[in-house]
Amino acid sequence: MANYLRLYYQPAHLMPPHGHLSHLLPVDADLEEIDQSMRQALAADDVAAVRIVLKDQILRDHTLYVRPSMWPAWMIVSSDDPDGTPPR
């Protein structure tokens, strides 16, 4: 199962079906740690560093710097989709 960090760029009641960005998280990502880091950054109006995997570079992690206060909503989701397509 793949895990994704989903960032919503519009309030939920205004969102079209694809009103978000999804970033693949590494297999060994600590989801609790990411959640805590995002919450702390939100409270402090700071950025959180999140390790992600880019589509064509699965052997190498990258760091995404996210300022949670700039996004109306965010969540960590899991997908059973075998092709790795982020859930909608």
For residue 1, the model assigns a pLDDT of 78
CA torsion sign, 83 to 51 to 36 to 7? negative
For residue 73, the model assigns a pLDDT of 86
10-residue block means of pLDDT along the chain (88 residues)?
A: 85 62 90 95 95 81 92 86 54
User: Which residue, 30, 62, 66, is CA-closest to 47?
Assistant: 66
With beta carbons less than 8 A apart as the criterion, state whether 82 and 17 touch. Answer: no
What DSSP character marks residue 15?
-
For residue 46, the model assigns a pLDDT of 95
pTM of the model: 0.77
